[in-house]
Each structure stands twice: as C-alpha cells, then as structure tokens.
Structure 1
Amino acid sequence: MKIIIVGAGEVGHNLCTTLAAEKHDVTLVEQSQQRCERLDEEQNARIVTGNGSSARQLVDLDVANCDAFLAMTSDDRTNLISCSLAKGLGAKNTIARIHDETYSDNSVINYQLHFGIDLLVNPEAICAVELAKAIRNPGRVAVENFARGQIEVQQQSVAAGSRLVGRKLKDLKLDSRVRVGYVQRDGCTEVANADTTLSEGDIVTLFGHPEALFALREKFDPKKKVELARVVLFGGSETAISLIRLLSNPRFKIRVIEKDAEKCRTLAERFPRITVINGDATSLRLMEEEQIGSADYFVACTKDDEENILTCIQASKLGAKHVQLVINKGDYDELLGMLRSYLSIEVVVSPRSATADFMRRTLSSEKVTNLAEMPDGSGRILELRINHSSPCVGRKVKDIQLPRGCLFVALLHKFKAKVPGADDTILAGDRLVVVVGEGQEKALMETLV
C-alpha cells in the first residue's frame, strides 16, 4: 500500500516506523530540514522536506496514486487543509489528526464532510478510551477494542431471583443498543438466538453501548448494588477532557488536579459536576491532603512524562487501588513493561502507540480480523470488511440469512458504530462484527464476503 504521512512529530514518526515495518511504501513529509536529515538515516521510508498543505507539493508527491494520506502534524488546520487538498487531488483515503473538539462538533456543520475527509482521529481520545475501559467496567471481557469505545463487551451472570430466568431472549425486550452474543452453561457455550432461554447461573456475554450495558446489570442481579468509583486525574489535558466525557455517569466521582489556574477555571465551567483542584500532584503533601490513597483510580495524564511517572509511584505507595499512566514520548517505550510489573501501574497508554495500532487496523487490507476466541474453542468473534462486491451490500439485516450459530453484534459505518437493527442496510466499506460458532466460518464468508 502506498502511504503518505505529513508531519514527523511523535505520532507521525512512530506511525512511519510502524507502517514501514509492515512493508508499506511510506513517504514522510516534514518541514524541518534538520529533522528530515536525522530521519533519513533511521527510517526505512522516503523522507521529503516540504509543506504538506501545498497543492504543488502534493502533486509532486503523486498524491493521486496514494492509497492513504495521513496528516499527523500538531496543527489541526494544517491537517484539515492537507487532507482536503489530497482528497481533491485524488487520494483514495484521507485521515486527519485533530485535537480541538470544534472539528468533531457537528451541531452547526460536519467538518469531516465539508472538507471531504474520510476520517478524523484524535490520539488523546483514543488513549482515553483505553483508560476508560478498565474504569467503566473492571470485569470487561478481554475482546479487542473496536469502534473507539462506542461498543463494549461485558459478561453478566444470571442470579437467583432475576426476572430473566426461564424466559426466551425474544421475550425480554432488551434495549435496542444491546445484543446477547453467547451464553455459557455447564461448561458449554452456545451462540444466542431468539429462542435461547436463560437459566440461573448462566454467564451471558453482551455487546452494546456502554451505558446501556450498565443499565442492564440490575436485571441480571437485582441485589447487586451500584458502587461509586472515585477517580482522580492529574492534569487537565486533552486526554483528561476526553476521559471526563467517557465517565459522564453520576456513579463516577471525578477530581482533577491541575497546576494551571486558568485551566482549572475552564474545566470547572465546562464540567460543573466534577471537582477541580489547583495544585501540583508531584507534591506528596498535596497527595496526602487530598487522600489519594482512598481513590479507586488515579490517572496521571499530563504532557510531562516524568511528572506522570512520579505521581503514579506516589499514588501507588499511598494506597490508590488502581493506577493508570499516560506516556507521551517514545523515550520510555522500553520501560513500559517494567512500569507495569515493578511499580504496580496497571494501565500504561501512549497517544503515539495507540494511534499507530488504530491506524494499522484501519489501513489493513485483510477482509477478516479475528477479535477474540469464544470459551472452550466453541467459536470466534470476527470483524469483516464489506467491499463493493460483497453479496450483502445494499441488503437489510433482516433480509440476510446467516448460517446457524452466527450472529451480528456490531455494525461500524465510517466513524459511527451501533448494534445492528433489522432495518439497517449494509453498505460497501462497512465493518461487521459477528459471533461465529465452530465450523460456520466458511458458510459465513460465502454469505457476507
């Protein structure tokens, strides 16, 4: 695949390394002559000194014949202009990195549609999804994250006294944003269907919108109480802002510690339900005064890696139950494993690495991706890419006859994802997440791909 990347900062640099290692034909465009000379020695890619938002430069780079154009500079407007020009000049797929939430707000105008860009990516928001997964649902099933946190997978046990016992799925009237994927009973796993009847002790795996899944907990176990989670964030960064949005449910009590007084005022105005503290979490005295040891989650997400590491160590020693860390630079890549194992830091995320992983999946030409194995090898959870020649294109979900033991659990269309309804139409370019019973993959491929 021919790929052009504009911007050789932390994200663009790492992305170039990752994609070049996978044998893609990568061209990296960077304005700094000095940085280009250094990159030319270490990268297995074509390095070009130039302006990625210049139409003449893009023509010289033969952008019309590139498969993917990725604008990854730290300036949103440069990225939007570059991608818009590249699309106008014939680039097949354009992806722009953005930070400012203005460009993801479609209430007045859809910026992505207006500029003709295929995808807008926010590295900090991708990181926030990874952090939020463990906070929103500690018992979350270990399934590859998809749809940027819009769809999650959870397991619930059917408790004694639940009104679900003895009832068929088709009679339950569950939230339309939720789908029962499979049921485990007496050591056996069965892909769910409309006639599946739930019994006490069943372990049910559900797919759906995070908040809709949470609302179902009481139906599975009426006696289970909702516990408040105390979350402390160090730094009012973009990652923190994205995380606050993802933890909007009142069950999360959020405190933000931020050194900059102006940032504190802005956060307090935007999110009146959270507590904002103007202070420095590297101060052990402040950490003790704020009783960080009693926090359920401590997340260090400033732009300063050294401060993040230091505060995580302090929070862990003070007794915080779960500690999470954001690393911005590549300097600490080799230490990430040590940070997890020796310093009791449970989750370590990096905007550059998270973006590279996301891009690798997005740009993959594989028609089928294995997301997870079902228990006891009884099947798999697959993500299928639907192309123009797929037999299901243009058909509604209710008109597609899936093989027995197969079930749609998620439909991804460009930037949005949902649990598919009967009247949803499958379009070229969509991705389908399907639970597939053992021995049914070939039949499924013939039906969908």
Structure 2
Amino acid sequence: MKIVVVGAGEVGRFLCQTLSEVGHDVIVVESSEQIAQEVDEATDVRVLEGNGTSANLLQNAGVSDCDFFLAMTSDDRTNLISGSLAKALGAKVTIARIHDQTYADNSLVNYQLHFGIDFLINPEALSAVVLAKAIRHPGRVAVENFARGEIEVQQVRISPKSKFAGKKLGEMRLGKGVYIGLIQREGQAEVASADLVLQPDDCLTLFGHTDAVNEVRLKFEPRNKSDIIRVVLFGGSETAIGLVRLLKNPRFKIRIVEGDAKVCQQLAERFPNVTLIHGSATSLRLMEEEQVGSADYFVACTKDDEINIMTCLQARKLGAKHVQLVISKPDYEHVLDDLRETLGVELAVAPRTATVNEVMRYISRESSQELMELPAGAGKIMEFRINNDSSMANKTIRDMPPGAVVVVLMHKFQAKLPSADDVILAGDRLVVIVREDRIKAVTNMLT
C-alpha cells in the first residue's frame, strides 16, 4: 500500500520504519532538514523536506492516490490541517495524531467530522487505556482498546440471591449499554443466546459502558460491593487526565501529585472528586506524608523518564502494591523489559509504541483478527473489518448468523454497543463473540 506520513519525530520515524519493513511504499514529509536527512539515511523510505500543511507539497508527495495518510507531528494543529488537506486532495483514509483532549470533546463540535479526518489518535489516551486496564480489572481482554477505552469488559458470578437467577436471557432487562456475551458453567462456556437460563454460580462476561456495567454487576452480585482502590498518579499530564476519566467510578480514590501549582489548580477545577497534592514525588518526605506506601496503585506519568523510574522505585520501596510508569525514550523500553522484575515495575507503557500498534491495526490488510480465545474452547472474540463485498454489508445486526454476538460496532466517528436495528456498513469494524463451531462460517459471511 502507498502511505504518506507527515512528521518524522520519535513516533513518525518508528512508524515509517515499521511500515517499510512490512513492505509498504512509504513517503515521509518532514520540516526539519536535519531530521529529514537522518531518516533518509537510516530508513528505506522516500523523504520530502517541507511544510506538511502545504497543499502543493502534499500533492507532490502523492496524497491524491495514497491508501493511508498519517499526520504524526507533535503539533495538533499541523496534524489536523494536513489531515484535512490530504482528505480534500483524495487520500483514501486519513489518521491524525492529537494530544490535546479538547479535540476529543464532541459536545459542541465533532472535530474529527469537521476536519474530515477518519481517525484521531491520542498517544497519551492510548497509554492511559493500557494502564487503566490493569487497574480496573487485571487480566481483562483488550477489547476496550478497540473502543478507545469506552467499552468495559468484566466477569461477574451470579449470586443465589440475584433476581436474575433462574431467568432466561431473553426475559432480562439489563438496560441500555450492557450486553451478556458469554456464560461459563461447570467448566463449560457458551456464547449467550436468548433461550439460555441463568443459574446460581454461573460466570458471565459483560460488555458495556463502564458506568452501566458497574451498575448491572451489583444486580448479579447484590452483596459483592467492590472494595475501594487507592490510586496515586505522579504528574498532571495528558496520560493522568486520561486515567482519571477512565477511573471515574467512585470505588477509585485518586490522588495526583503535581509540582506546578497552576496545573494543580486547573486539574482541581476540572476534577473536583480528585485530590490534588502540590509537590514532587521525588521527595521521600512528601511520599511518606501522603502515605504512598498504602496505595494500591502508583503510576508515574510525567514526561521525564528518569523521574518516572526513580519515583516508581521509591513507591515500591515504601510499600505500594502495584507500580506502573510511562516511558517515552525508545532506548529505555528495552532496558525496562530486562529489568522489570528487578525494579518491581509491573507495567511500563510507551506512548509511541501504543500509537504505532493502533495505526497498524487500522492499516492491516487482514479483514479479521483474533482478540482472545474464550475459556473451555467455547470460541473466540474476533474483530472484523466489513468490506464492500461482505455479505453482511448494508444488513442489520439482527441479520447476524446464529452463534455470533456483536458486542462493539465501530463506525468512522464512534464506537458503540449495537442494537438489533443498527445497519452494518462497508468500512465498519465489528467485535464479535463467535462460537467455535461457527468461526469459519461467520468469517466467510463477514469478510
């Protein structure tokens, strides 16, 4: 495929190298003469030096017939403008990297739709999704990455005191925003269907929006109140903001340690339920005073890798149960892989790696991929991209074949839990729970 990339910083360069190595025809546009020369010498890509917001330069780069256009500079405005221009010039699919959460707020204006960009990718938000996954529900499947952190996946066991025990799934009214996808019983697992009768001690896999899933969970486990989870975030970065949004359930008690008083004030105004501490986690005295050692999770998410590493070591020594951090420098990623056990850091997330992984999912030639194998050989959770020649294109969710449950429908500008009447369009992506004996038939029908 022909791919044009604007921006050859850490993310753009890594992306160009990865795309080139798997056989794509890559053209990169870079405004810095020095960086352009370095990329030209180090990678097998065509390099053009110049302004990525110049329509003439983009035309010369061949955006009019490119399969993908990727705006990956560190400046949001440059990415939005160049992505919009590329779409107007004929690029088939445009993806823009953003940092400011402002552009993800669709309450007044849908920026993605306004600029005509197919996908907006926020490296910090992607990192927050990975970190939050381990905090919200350790071991949870990564379906939430597909929905940019909006879709929660939880397992719940039915209490004998639940009003749902003894009822058919088709008779239950869970409310909007929640699906039952899988039922496990006595070592056997089965994809949910309307005629299945729930029994005490059944284990259900729930899909839905975070608040809705947590509310429904209490109906299945009336006496199982979630324990309070104490989370300390070091640094009021975009990653921290993403984590606060993903951990908004009351069971998470969040404190943010931030050295900039102005940032503290801004965060306190935006998130009144979060405790802000003005200071530095590099101070052992402050860490002891704030009882960081009693935290369930300590997450270092500043933009300084060295400080993140040192504060994690400090938190682990003080007794924090789980320690996570964000790493930006490529060289440190490999070091941490080797020293993770020694340092006691359970999870290290690299924004550039998270971004490249997300981009590679969008541009994959594969029309289907496996996300997870279900327990007891019941089947798989799979992601499908609907092409023009798919037999399910322009049909509704209710037309899906038996043995398959669609749990996420992603159209260009939104990810949602589908209703039976939602129409499946070419270009949509579906996350589907598929029974083992139906995988081949469902795959053939969708692709």
Letter in 2 for 1:91: A
1:171 aligns with 2:171: yes
Using the TM superposition, give the Cα deviation of residue 226 of structure 1 relative to its aligned residue in structure 2, in angstroms. 2.2
Query: For the residues of structure 2 that align with 1:88 and 1:47, how far apart are their CA atoms?
Result: 22
Query: For the residues of structure 2 that align with 1:146 and 1:379, how far apart are their CA atoms?
Result: 19
Do the aligned residues in 2 keep the contact of 1:55 with 1:85 (CA within 8 Å)? yes
| Counterpart position of 2:401 | 402
Query: For the residues of structure 2 that align with 1:9 and 1:361, how far apart are their CA atoms?
Result: 21
Do the aligned residues in 2 keep the contact of 1:144 with 1:371 (CA within 8 Å)? no
Deviating more after overlay: 318-327 vs 98-107: 98-107
Query: For the residues of structure 1 that align with 2:337 and 2:160, how far apart are their CA atoms?
Result: 42
1:113–1:206 distance in 2 versus 1, CA, 3 Å: same
| Counterpart position of 2:16 | 16
Using the TM superposition, give the Cα deviation of residue 363 of structure 1 relative to its aligned residue in structure 2, in angstroms. 1.1
Query: For the residues of structure 2 that align with 1:322 and 1:364, how far apart are their CA atoms?
Result: 34
1:220-275 CA deviation, whole Å, 9 max, x = no partner?
Answer: 22211221111111001111111111122222211111111111111112212211
Query: For the residues of structure 1 that align with 2:219 and 2:234, how far apart are their CA atoms?
Result: 36
Scaled by the length of structure 2, the TM-score of the pair is: 0.96
| Counterpart position of 1:50 | 50
Using the TM superposition, give the Cα deviation of residue 150 of structure 1 relative to its aligned residue in structure 2, in angstroms. 1.6
Local SS of the residue matching 1:440: helix
Letter in 2 for 1:61: A
How do 1:415-426 residues align onto structure 2 when only pairs under 5 Å count?
415-426=413-424
Query: For the residues of structure 2 that align with 1:301 and 1:434, how far apart are their CA atoms?
Result: 33
Do the aligned residues in 1 keep the contact of 2:144 with 2:151 (CA within 8 Å)? no
Query: For the residues of structure 2 that align with 1:178 and 1:374, how far apart are their CA atoms?
Result: 19
Using the TM superposition, give the Cα deviation of residue 144 of structure 1 relative to its aligned residue in structure 2, in angstroms. 7.5
Local SS of the residue matching 2:266: helix
Query: For the residues of structure 2 that align with 1:401 and 1:109, how far apart are their CA atoms?
Result: 34
Using the TM superposition, give the Cα deviation of residue 105 of structure 1 relative to its aligned residue in structure 2, in angstroms. 2.3
| Counterpart position of 2:248 | 248
Local SS of the residue matching 1:148: coil
Query: For the residues of structure 1 that align with 2:380 and 2:340, how far apart are their CA atoms?
Result: 29
1:132-165 CA deviation, whole Å, 9 max, x = no partner?
Answer: 1122223534668321112232211122322222
| Counterpart position of 1:372 | 372
Letter in 1 for 2:99: H
1:391-414 CA deviation, whole Å, 9 max, x = no partner?
Answer: 22222222x0413x2222211112
Do the aligned residues in 2 keep the contact of 1:230 with 1:252 (CA within 8 Å)? yes
1:349-393 CA deviation, whole Å, 9 max, x = no partner?
Answer: 111000000000011121111111111323111111111222222
| Counterpart position of 1:273 | 273
| Counterpart position of 1:432 | 430
What runs of 5+ residues in structure 2 fail to find an aligned partner? none
How do 1:194-213 residues align onto structure 2 when only pairs under 5 Å count?
194-213=194-213
| Counterpart position of 1:97 | 97
Using the TM superposition, give the Cα deviation of residue 60 of structure 1 relative to its aligned residue in structure 2, in angstroms. 1.1
Do the aligned residues in 2 keep the contact of 1:176 with 1:421 (CA within 8 Å)? no
Do the aligned residues in 1 keep the contact of 2:406 with 2:430 (CA within 8 Å)? yes
1:107 aligns with 2:107: yes
Local SS of the residue matching 1:145: helix
Local SS of the residue matching 2:337: helix
1:408-446 CA deviation, whole Å, 9 max, x = no partner?
Answer: 221111232222111111111111111111221232134
| Counterpart position of 2:409 | 411
Do the aligned residues in 2 keep the contact of 1:126 with 1:354 (CA within 8 Å)? yes
1:118 aligns with 2:104: no
1:75 aligns with 2:75: yes
Query: For the residues of structure 2 that align with 1:273 and 1:406, how far apart are their CA atoms?
Result: 40
Do the aligned residues in 2 keep the contact of 1:40 with 1:46 (CA within 8 Å)? yes
Query: For the residues of structure 2 that align with 1:39 and 1:272, how far apart are their CA atoms?
Result: 45
What runs of 5+ residues in structure 1 fail to find an aligned partner? none
Query: For the residues of structure 1 that align with 2:57 and 2:80, how far apart are their CA atoms?
Result: 16
Deviating more after overlay: 289-298 vs 111-120: 111-120
Local SS of the residue matching 1:439: helix
Local SS of the residue matching 1:253: strand
Local SS of the residue matching 2:298: strand
Using the TM superposition, give the Cα deviation of residue 47 of structure 1 relative to its aligned residue in structure 2, in angstroms. 2.2
Do the aligned residues in 2 keep the contact of 1:182 with 1:205 (CA within 8 Å)? yes
| Counterpart position of 1:259 | 259
How do 1:292-441 residues align onto structure 2 when only pairs under 5 Å count?
292-398=292-398, 400-403=399-402, 405-441=403-439
How many residues are treated as equivalent by the alignment? 447
Deviating more after overlay: 257-266 vs 209-218: 209-218
1:273-320 CA deviation, whole Å, 9 max, x = no partner?
Answer: 211111111111111111100111111000000000000111111111
Deviating more after overlay: 60-69 vs 142-151: 142-151
How do 1:124-135 residues align onto structure 2 when only pairs under 5 Å count?
124-135=124-135
Do the aligned residues in 1 keep the contact of 2:189 with 2:377 (CA within 8 Å)? no
Do the aligned residues in 2 keep the contact of 1:145 with 1:152 (CA within 8 Å)? no
Query: For the residues of structure 2 that align with 1:305 and 1:318, how far apart are their CA atoms?
Result: 20
Local SS of the residue matching 2:354: helix
| Counterpart position of 1:286 | 286
Letter in 2 for 1:37: Q
Local SS of the residue matching 2:182: strand
Q: Among residues 434, 444, 447, which one is paired with 2:445 in the alignment?
A: 447
Query: For the residues of structure 2 that align with 1:126 and 1:429, how far apart are their CA atoms?
Result: 22
Do the aligned residues in 2 keep the contact of 1:139 with 1:154 (CA within 8 Å)? no
Letter in 1 for 2:438: Q
How do 1:138-157 residues align onto structure 2 when only pairs under 5 Å count?
138=138, 140-141=140-141, 145-157=145-157
Query: For the residues of structure 2 that align with 1:368 and 1:140, how far apart are their CA atoms?
Result: 21
Local SS of the residue matching 2:320: coil
Query: For the residues of structure 1 that align with 2:409 and 2:105, how far apart are their CA atoms?
Result: 22
Local SS of the residue matching 1:85: helix
Query: For the residues of structure 1 that align with 2:59 and 2:41, how far apart are their CA atoms?
Result: 25
Letter in 2 for 1:137: H
Deviating more after overlay: 90-99 vs 216-225: 216-225
Query: For the residues of structure 2 that align with 1:380 and 1:226, how far apart are their CA atoms?
Result: 29
Do the aligned residues in 2 keep the contact of 1:141 with 1:155 (CA within 8 Å)? no
